[in-house]
Amino acid sequence: MIASPFPEYVGFSISTMDDVNGLAIHPDELRSLGKKAREKRRREFIMGRAASRNALMRAGCTDPPPVLRGAMGEPLWPEGYVGAISHTSVVAVSAVCPVILASGIGLDVEDMGEPVELPVFNLVCSDSELQWIHASRDECQLRFRMIFSAKEAAYKAFFPLVGAYIDFKDAELRRDDDTGIFHGTILKNISSRVHKGQTFTAESRLSGNVVLSHVLLPHAFRDGPVHLD
User: In this model, does residue 32 exceed pLDDT 80?
Assistant: yes
Does 129 have pLDDT greater than 60? yes
pLDDT band of 25, cuts 50, 70, 90: confident
pLDDT, position 30: 85
Shared-domain flag, residues 24 and 77: yes
Instruction: Give the pLDDT band (50/70/90) at residue 74.
Output: very high
The SS3 call for residue 39 is helix
Which three-class secondary structure state does DSSP give residue 106?
Answer: strand
The pLDDT-based confidence of 112 (bands split at 50, 70, 90) is very high
Same structural domain for residues 97 and 119? no
The per-residue pLDDT for 221 is 64
**What's the mean pLDDT in 92-121?**
94
Residue 63 lies in a domain: yes
Whether 212 maps to a domain, the answer reads no
Pair (135, 92) in one structural domain: no
pLDDT of residue 114: 85
Domain that holds residue 15: 11-102
Domain containing 35 — which CATH number? Answer: 3.90.470.20
Q: Are 96 and 75 in contact (CB under 8 A)?
A: no
Residue 69 confidence (pLDDT): 94
**pLDDT value for 17:** 84
Would 229 be classed as within a structural domain?
no
| Same domain flag for 40 and 70 | yes
pLDDT at 96 over 90: yes
Q: Tens of pLDDT along 192-226?
A: 888 899 999 999 999 989 999 999 998 766 655 55
Strands (E), the chain: 11-16, 68-69, 75-76, 81-87, 91-98, 102-111, 171-176, 181-186, 199-207, 210-218
Number of separate helices (H) and strands (E) present in the chain = 5, 10
Q: How many domains are there within the chain?
A: 2
Q: Please provide the average confidence, as pLDDT, over all residues in the chain.
A: 91
What is the distance between the alpha carbons of residues 222 and 103, in angstroms, rounded to a whole number? 6
Indicate if 75 and 54 belong to the same structural domain.
yes
Mean pLDDT of 121-144: 96
Q: What percent of the chain has pLDDT over 90?
A: 71
| Per-residue pLDDT band at 20 (split at 50, 70, 90) | confident
> Are residue 77 and residue 160 in the same domain, yes or no?
no
Residues 96 and 129 grouped into a single domain = no
DSSP letter string over 40-94?
HHHHHHHHHHHHHHHHHHHTT-SSPPP-EE-TTS-EEPPTTEEEEEEE-SSEEEE
Kindly state whether residue 216 falls inside one of the protein's structural domains: no
Q: Are residues 121 and 86 in the same domain?
A: no
Quick check: is 224 in a domain? no
Same-domain status, 25 and 65: yes
- Indicate whether 15 and 92 sit together in one domain: yes
Q: Indicate the residue among 69, 102, 135 that finishes a domain.
A: 102
Q: How far apart are CA 59 and CA 95, in angstroms?
A: 9
Domain annotation covers residue 210:
no
